[in-house]
Amino acid sequence: MKSPIELLNAHFDGRVLTAEEARVLSQWAATDPANARTVVELGIIHSQVDYRLSVARFIDEIGDSEDPAIQRSIESAMESIEIGSYRDKSLPLATVVSKPKRQSERLRGWVTAAVAASLLFAFVSVLRSSTTDQDASPEVAAATPEGQSSPQEAPLAAVVATVTEAIGVESTGVAPFRRGKYVRGGEALELKEGVLALTTADGSEVVVEGPASLVFEDGQRIALKAGRLSARVDEEATGLVVTTPTATVVDLGTEFGVGIGPHLETSVAVYDGVVELYGASSDGLANSPSKRITAGRAGQVNADGTLNWAVQTLPNDREFIRPDEIASLRKARAGSAEARQQTSFYALQRTRGLVAFQSFDLPSDGSAYSVSFRGSPPRTTASPTLVDDLQAKHLYSSGALRVGEAENAFLDIDNSSDAPFARAKLLTDRGLVGRSGAELWLAWKTRVIDPERIGDHAGLSLMFGDQSRTQEPLFIGYSGGRGLLGIVSNVGSRAVELELDANPETFAVDPVGLDDRTHQWVLQLIFGERGDKIAVWCDVPLDAIRETRPQAETVNANVMFDRLRMGVSAGASDWVFDDFVMATSIDAISDVDRLQSDDAAGAR
């Protein structure tokens, strides 16, 4: 365990502390006032060093706004603050902008701009929520972006939203989308592609995914004609209404996504709070049938406007690009590998059919970038050892888990009712994976450090308790000291052993021995009423699995599990395990692999 000061600094540097580390740090800071003071002192150093050293970065960010409107907005705000201070307070600007006499000229300019930017944002946000264009202040009028007349000059519709980010946006409209662009009531937004983030006059955040066509009718009503959007409604501003050709979605204080399908059917996903979903088949909202959709649920209105009464559990939390994803997209675009990893992970979570993922993220000891596995780090009989990734083509901070001689490591599956396994209807009544009629695919990688040291066994087990054999319906690896890869299917006290056949197209079994190469494993489980079908492939390209005969195939009377065990017997070499992906289809496994490759390609 690191010292509390090291933990605090690691926290400052973005490392996600484990729950235990956080508890230790928090307790330490609370036990002695000197410790709390140390937290503040190191916080000042962290913040101030960043302040002083990040001038170039800040200038880059400002420079990013080639849009002269943003530059002018900052200048205008500064001007108004300066004039206002002289006029009303008789204060020199120096007093207003945070101790410039003691700071270098370069820093002074930057601090001034930073304070001004924050002030401008605050002023404009407050004004938008409390006033109309007609009574906007001179300060705000001065900050109106280029090409948009001041409200006094022309009777334009009220500003109902502001573009806060435009990522890869191509529009069919005349004006390009840029940060700071105002959207006026009734203005049509047509996106061919890209992601557009906006803040409405009420402070709600809206993200539009292209291609899309929509109109902000006013600050509280959006007509979505095609495409997808998500919205996070400010706590104090409930009542955002999104209409589609077939439905009306009324926010009741929430975060939600709305999408229009190819036949104009409307789907709604609720991430937080509640929405009321109306079908558009009858006249008038008050007379339309409606369904209340709560957090974690999805609703649908059919193409003919009839309400689908069956509310579904959300397959994942990232089906829509949500407002909190925008900051990561922005940073990824600026070249941050960490942000690119985060956005790749969001995209990965959107993979249809994905139920679990673990790539052993190094900085967080495996807790970050993981789906459906409980606990962090993995539960082990010794201390867990995370090592470098088995292959370079993965999320950039991911590693791998090394399991040593006579050690077991467990990945416990999250079988709670709102977790992906439950949502995918893979769980039995006892909460174990293995519901009849379901299909599950599992992919993972392994490498043996020293293939000469065999011992008794090593490999992966599917288990419903920690006891070998009795709570271990399936094992994939080698056993019995033979050093040949295969599977062991335990049924009660009986074990059925099957060797992998390197060439299943021929009659004779061509056994697969140990070596020190990295191997890609794929397991298919089809859970049936009378037996569960098991098929295993080793080193078969993922996109060729469907056309390739399994290298081992058997049937087990009852495979069920709630944990994966990576085990190495006494006398055996260390094994490295990596990239566990579980999904309801092989296509989803391939998609995840592709996303990881894309991320790695981007990182290079």
* C-alpha distances out from residue 594 to 168, 319, 351, 584, Å: 21, 18, 11, 17
- What residues between 221 and 280 interact with another protein by CB under 8 A? 232
553 binds another protein, rule: CB under 8 A: no
Tell which one of 20, 49, 192, 392 touches another protein (CB under 8 A).
49
Q: Which stretch binds another protein (CB under 8 A): 108-116, 170-178, 452-460, 546-554?
A: 108-116
Instruction: Return the range that interacts with another protein (CB under 8 A); candidates 6-14, 400-408, 458-466, 544-552.
Output: 6-14
Q: Which of residues 129-168 bind another protein (CB under 8 A)?
A: 129-130, 137, 139
Stretch that binds another protein, among 112-120, 188-196, 243-251, 352-360 (CB under 8 A): 112-120
Q: Does 50 bind another protein (CB under 8 A)?
A: yes
Q: Can you read off the two tokens belonging to residue 257?
A: 């996504």
Locate all alpha helices (DSSP H) within 294-443, ordered by sequence: 326-333, 337-349, 420-423
Nearer to another protein, 231 or 443 (CB): 231
CB neighbours of 515 closer than 8 A, spacing ≥ 6?
A: 448, 451
Count of positions on this chain that bind another protein (CB under 8 A): 84
Shorter beta-carbon distance to another protein: residue 55 or 156: 55
Q: Give the DSSP H or E segment for 54.
A: none
Interface with another protein, residue 4, by CB under 8 A: no
Separation between Cα atoms, residue 93 and residue 581, nearest integer Å: 58
30 or 382: CB nearest another protein: 30
* For another protein, the closer CB: 103 or 380: 103
Candidate list 92, 98, 436, 517; residue touching another protein; CB under 8 A: 98
Counting contacts by CB under 8 A, is residue 417 touching another protein?
no
C-alpha angle 410-415-416 in degrees, rounded to nearest 5: 135
Tokens 């959007």 map to which residue? 229
Residue selected from 65, 71, 85, 238 as contacting another protein according to rule CB under 8 A: 85
According to the binding rule CB under 8 A, does residue 19 interact with another protein? yes
The answer to whether the CB of 571 falls within 8 A of the CB of 454 is yes
Amino acid (1-letter code) at residue 414 = D
Which residue carries 């009574």 as its tokens? Answer: 135
Using CA atoms, how far apart are residues 479 and 523, in angstroms rounded to an integer?
A: 18
Told to check if 495 binds another protein by CB under 8 A, we report: no
CB 112 within 8 A of CB 34: no
Taking CB under 8 A as the binding criterion, the range among 78-86, 170-178, 261-269, 488-496 that sits at the site for another protein is: 78-86
Query: Any contact of residue 548 with another protein (CB under 8 A)?
Result: no
Least separation in angstroms between CB 218 and another protein: 21
Site for another protein in 375-404 (CB under 8 A): 396-397
In the shown chain, the binding pattern of residues 166 to 195 toward another protein, with x for contact by CB under 8 A and - for none, equals ------------------------------
For 172-209, the DSSP string reads SSSSPP-TT-EEETT-EEEEEEEEEEEEETTS-EEEEE
CB of 232 to another protein, least distance (A): 8
Binding flag, residue 53, another protein (CB under 8 A): yes
Closer to another protein by Cβ: residue 230 or 489: 230
Stretch that binds another protein, among 84-92, 291-299, 480-488, 585-593 (CB under 8 A): 84-92
Cis check for the bond before 33: say yes or no (omega within 30 of 0). Answer: no
User: Between 78 and 247, whose beta carbon lies closer to another protein?
Assistant: 78
**CA-CA distances (angstroms) from residue 427 to 351, 421, 433?**
20, 6, 5
Question: How many residues can be counted in the chain?
Answer: 604
The amino acid at 11:
H
Residue type, 308: N
If binding is defined by CB under 8 A, does position 29 make contact with another protein?
Answer: yes
Q: Are 380 and 409 in contact (CB under 8 A)?
A: yes
The least CB distance from residue 190 to another protein, in Å, is 28
Backbone dihedral angles phi then psi of residue 358, each to the nearest 5 degrees: -150, 120
| Binding to another protein in span 301-340, by CB under 8 A | 324, 327, 330-331, 336-338
Q: How far apart are CA 422 and CA 428, in angstroms?
A: 9
Binding map of another protein across residues 350-379, x = CB under 8 A, - = no contact: ------------xx----x-----------
Q: For residues 242 and 468, what is the distance between their CA atoms, to the nearest angstrom? A: 54
Pick one of 43, 173, 465, 513: the residue that binds another protein (CB under 8 A). Answer: 43
List strand residue ranges (DSSP E) for 244-372, in order.
Answer: 247-251, 255-260, 266-272, 274-279, 290-294, 297-301, 307-313, 354-358, 370-371
Pick between residue 58 and residue 553 the one whose CB is nearest to another protein. 58
Helices (H) and strands (E) in the chain, counts: 12, 29
Q: How far is the CB of 550 from another protein (least distance, A)?
A: 36
Tell whether residue 119 is a contact of another protein (CB under 8 A): yes
**Burial call 529-545: b when 16+ CB within 10 Å, e when fewer:** eeebbbbbbbebebeeb
- Cβ at position 424, least distance to another protein in Å: 19
Listed ranges 44-52, 206-214, 297-305, 457-465: which one lies at the site for another protein (CB under 8 A): 44-52
Select 102 or 530, whichever has its Cβ closest to another protein. 102
* Integer Cα distance of 552 and 8 in angstroms: 50
Closer residue to another protein (CB): 187 or 255? 255
